[in-house]
């Protein structure tokens, strides 16, 4: 793994985010890995663009003060359910506020991260922005239906990544912008919906696999959608 430059994990208080942060800290030079979340200092809240802009400004100041380039930004945020919101099984369960919240966290929030953090990537040399999507966001792979809001918000995220990658390449030809499916991992997000008998992977395993995929990518992969084994997923 290339340890040059600064690595940033957003959503570092979540299961996969915390494991990614830990993994990067074990293989990177000291003081070159930063974790951001709603509970970090400074805090970053996907529903508050001002906090995103402030975190980006702080990151830019940090790279300048340390003479580092921002080489990795990994967005490990996402929402499937909360205390009240649950995945819909049919159209009759659709609620406007639930749909809006899923799009706010799963699509609009990451889009705002790209807005504020992609310009901070260096003009030359390999760098990456990776965001966690989900296989159920694949339109052509949808065979079961249901989960309207989650599916649609992740499909929107994939489109946003694809579009941002095209723009990014114009000024940052060596940069990569990609969506990654982490698989079924033992976290609060996916555990309640894991199929009976399905062995959940640990967050540590997921982090190891995701970092292997990230480190194996090149600029020709930018705008893509891959799983935790590096296999391309159709949009």
Note the pLDDT of residue 1. Answer: 41
Whether residue 197 lies inside any domain: the answer is yes
What is the span of the domain harbouring residue 152?
6-227
90-113 burial by CB neighbour count: b if 16+ within 10 A, else e?
eeeeeeeebbebbbebbbbbbbbb
Note the pLDDT of residue 30. Answer: 85
Whether residue 233 lies inside any domain: the answer is no
Radius of gyration of the chain (CA): 17
Per-residue tens of pLDDT for the chain, all 235 residues: 444 799 999 999 999 999 999 999 999 988 899 999 999 988 999 999 999 999 999 999 999 999 999 999 999 999 999 878 899 999 999 999 999 999 999 999 999 999 999 999 999 999 999 999 999 999 999 999 999 999 999 999 999 999 999 999 999 999 999 999 999 898 776 656 665 556 788 999 999 999 999 999 999 999 999 999 999 999 9
DSSP string, 99-113: HHHHHIIIIIHHHHH
Collapsing DSSP to helix, strand or coil, 70 comes out as strand
Under 8 Å between Cβ of 117 and 129: yes
Instruction: Give the chain's domain count.
Output: 1
Three-class HEC string of 185-210 = ECCCCCHHHCCCCCCCECHHHHHHHH
Note the pLDDT of residue 165. Answer: 98
Q: pTM for this one?
A: 0.94
Query: What distance in Å separates the CA atoms of residue 6 and residue 211, rounded to the nearest whole number?
Result: 15
Whether residue 1 lies inside any domain: the answer is no
Query: What distance in Å separates the CA atoms of residue 74 and residue 20, rounded to the nearest whole number?
Result: 9
CA dihedral (77, 79, 182, 173) positive or negative: negative
Whether residue 30 lies inside any domain: the answer is yes
Q: Which CATH number is 141's domain given? A: 3.40.50.720
What spatial distance separates the first Cα and last Cα of the chain, rounded to whole Å? 29
Note the pLDDT of residue 133. Answer: 98
């Amino acid at each position: 793994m290339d340890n040059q430059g600064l690595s940033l994990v957003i959503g570092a208080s979540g299961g996969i985010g915390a494991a990614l942060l830990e993994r990067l800290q074990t293989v990177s030079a000291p003081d070159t890995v930063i974790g951001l979340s709603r509970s970090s200092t400074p805090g970053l809240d996907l529903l508050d663009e001002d906090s995103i802009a402030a975190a980006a400004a702080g990151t830019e100041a940090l790279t300048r003060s340390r003479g580092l380039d921002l080489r990795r930004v990994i967005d490990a945020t996402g929402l499937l359910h909360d205390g009240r919101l649950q995945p819909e099984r049919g159209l009759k369960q659709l609620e406007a506020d639930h749909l809006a919240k899923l799009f706010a966290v799963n699509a609009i929030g990451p889009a705002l991260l790209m807005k504020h953090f992609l310009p901070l990537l260096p003009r030359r040399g390999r760098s990456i922005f990776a965001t966690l999507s989900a296989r159920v966001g694949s339109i052509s792979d949808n065979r079961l239906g249901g989960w309207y809001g989650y599916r649609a918000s992740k499909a929107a995220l994939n489109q946003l990544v694809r579009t941002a990658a095209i723009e990014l390449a114009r000024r940052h030809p060596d940069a990569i912008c990609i969506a990654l499916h982490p698989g079924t991992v033992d976290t609060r997000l996916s555990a309640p919906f894991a199929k009976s008998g399905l062995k959940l992977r640990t967050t540590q395993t997921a982090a190891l696999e995701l970092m292997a995929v990230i480190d194996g990518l090149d600029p020709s992969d930018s705008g893509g959608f891959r799983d935790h084994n590096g296999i391309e997923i159709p949009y």
